[in-house]
Structure 1
Amino acid sequence: MGESSDRKGSGLSKTQQPAIRFLVESALRTVISNTTRSAPRTREEWIQRLCEALMSDSESSYRAAIASLMATGVSSEEIFQSYIPAVSAYLGELWVSDRASFVDVTVGASRLQGLFRDKGGQASAQWSDRSIPLGQSVLMVVPQYEQHALGAFVAADNLRQHGLWVHMAIGLTREELAELSGTRRFAMIGISVATRNSVEKKPSNL
């Protein structure tokens, strides 16, 4: 009678109960492991932690990791100027050594570029051409055939730190670039390519 009542109360058979218990205990172990996981102590450990967060399924993990890093006293500028380029290089190492899949590395790189886009958008919202100390604009070009844009975002961020307004031109055609450069006066036009081999593909009118 008691056994029958237990089954009715739980809604699970004897064979189902151990399986559910195993799943619950496994989930609890995962939560405890993530909670008690020690914080990185060195710059290299932080870079690895950031890479893991960038490639994770969670959209908020990498932002939480960055927030944790800043809580240790690392400034936002140091993160963008030092940590993120190092994280980008480490993602490349993981891909070359087959320790991360193409999808994982692509997701991580895309999120890094998103951080720079957000930062650049905030700067553009705060500054206009006339309010910038130097009053000069730069066109940063990432050609259509180039698949790596993170370097261009890093360079653009550095230029903004020196008081320049940077317009990002990513994947534009030759005609679009010609029209853009003709309608605005740029103090400099930069082209970002990953390797020297990409220079040979440079459009003749750039």
Structure 2
Amino acid sequence: MLDHLVAAVCTSDTGAVAAVLESFRAARIGPDAVTTEYIPAAARILGTAWEEDRLTFGMVTIGTARLQAMVRQLQQDHRADAADPAAQSAVLVLIPPGEQHTLGAMVAAAMLRRKGVSVSVQIAPSVNDMSTMLANRRFQAVLVTLGSIDRVDTCVKLVKTLKQITKGALRVAIGGAVLDECRNDLTDAGADLVTNDVETVISEFGLNEQMSERNAW
């Protein structure tokens, strides 16, 4: 199935993605499994193929964009996001300005939703937008994606801004492909957690406790 998925997002056949999604349904592989297991694996295959010159940058870009579209399509209906946003804790997933690698953030959001966490994904919001958002909705944590080393300074500024807006009260986690190269910079900026493990985010930030409270009678 994974090979079929990779082929579908790389072909010029516009019906290939729909066909492979139907194959997943026929095999009784649900949307959550496709989003959190197959799509990340397909993205890694695309990246490796580009590094080994088996795919062009343009082909990988198109393939990744199609994977992102699949995530959006598969995650359209989530009970965790259906409740009144003003009445529950939630997680804000931020993609910093200039960051081109958005697939990881979308998959992380899908993983959180799969666990019953309410998620809002925002791409390159302004400081005013973030201030308004944080004032109008109670977020328990913010997850920031960092996919390239040249976005580290932007990410550091974003973390500092989030801490300033919330007077240090809001917990911030950073995830992405280049964490090992800039872990100290991120923690020095005020990041509470630097990890690619969604389960660690849920555990360390007590999101499972919040879910239990919401589900209690």
- The TM-score with structure 2 as length reference comes to 0.65
Q: Which residue of 2 aligns with 1:137?
A: 90
**Of 42, 52, 67, which residue of structure 2 is paired with 1:87?**
42
Q: CA RMSD in A?
A: 2.5
Q: Which residue of 2 aligns with 1:48?
A: 3
Q: CA deviation at 1:112?
A: 1.2
Q: Which residue of 2 aligns with 1:194?
A: 147
Quote the sequence identity (%). Answer: 29
What per-residue deviation string (whole Å, max 9, x for no partner) do you get for residues 48-107 of structure 1? 221111011122202211221332333332222211110011111111111112221111
Q: 1:173 to 1:136 in 2, by over 3 A?
A: same
Contact 1:129 1:136 in 2 (8 A): no
**Whole-angstrom distance in 2 between the partners of 1:115 and 1:106:** 14
**Whole-angstrom distance in 1 between the partners of 2:60 and 2:47:** 7
**Whole-angstrom distance in 1 between the partners of 2:150 and 2:56:** 25
Q: CA deviation at 1:124?
A: 6.4
* Runs of 5+ consecutive residues of structure 1 not aligned to the other structure: 1-45
Larger Rg: 1
* Runs of 5+ consecutive residues of structure 2 not aligned to the other structure: 163-217
Q: Which has the higher strand share?
A: 2
What per-residue deviation string (whole Å, max 9, x for no partner) do you get for residues 22-69 of structure 1? xxxxxxxxxxxxxxxxxxxxxxxx322211110111222022112213
Q: Which residue of 2 aligns with 1:68?
A: 23
Give the 5 Å matches for 1:129-168.
129=84, 135-168=88-121
Q: CA deviation at 1:120?
A: 3.3
Report the 3-state secondary structure (helix = DSSP H, G, I; strand = E; otherwise coil) of the residue aligned with 1:192: strand
Q: CA deviation at 1:196?
A: 5.9
Report the 3-state secondary structure (helix = DSSP H, G, I; strand = E; otherwise coil) of the residue aligned with 1:190: strand
Q: Which residue of 2 aligns with 1:112?
A: 67
Across the two proteins, how many residue pairs are aligned to each other? 159
